[in-house]
Amino acid sequence: MDNNAEHLLRLIKTYLSHFDDEHIVRFRAALPDENHIKSLPLESHWLTVSEQIQHVGATAPQTSAIVSFIQMHANTFAWRQPYKTGQLPDEFLEGSAWFPIADRQGPLVFDQGLVEIMLLDRGVTYPRHHHEPEEMYLVLGGDVYWEADGMEGSPAWKRAGDCMYHPSHQPHQLQAGADPVLILSLWRGGGFEMPNIH
Is cis: bond before 155, omega within 30 of 0?
A: yes
- CB within 8 Å of 170: residues ≥ 6 apart: 130, 135, 148, 149, 150, 151
Res 133 pLDDT > 80: yes
Task: For residue range 64-102, list pLDDT tens digits in order.
Answer: 999 999 999 999 999 999 998 888 899 999 999 999 999
Mean pLDDT of the chain: 94
pLDDT of 2 reads: 59
Res 175 pLDDT > 70: yes
Task: For residue range 37-47, list pLDDT tens digits in order.
Answer: 999 999 999 99
Helix axis angle for 2-16 and 64-72, nearest 10°, is 170
The secondary element (H helix, E strand) that includes residue 97 is strand 96-103
pLDDT of 181 reads: 98
Closest CA to 39 of 107, 86, 130, 134: 107
Closest CA to 123 of 34, 49, 41: 49
pLDDT band at 172 (very low <50, low <70, confident <90, very high): very high
Res 48 pLDDT > 90: yes
Res 156 pLDDT > 70: yes
Q: What is this structure's pTM?
A: 0.95
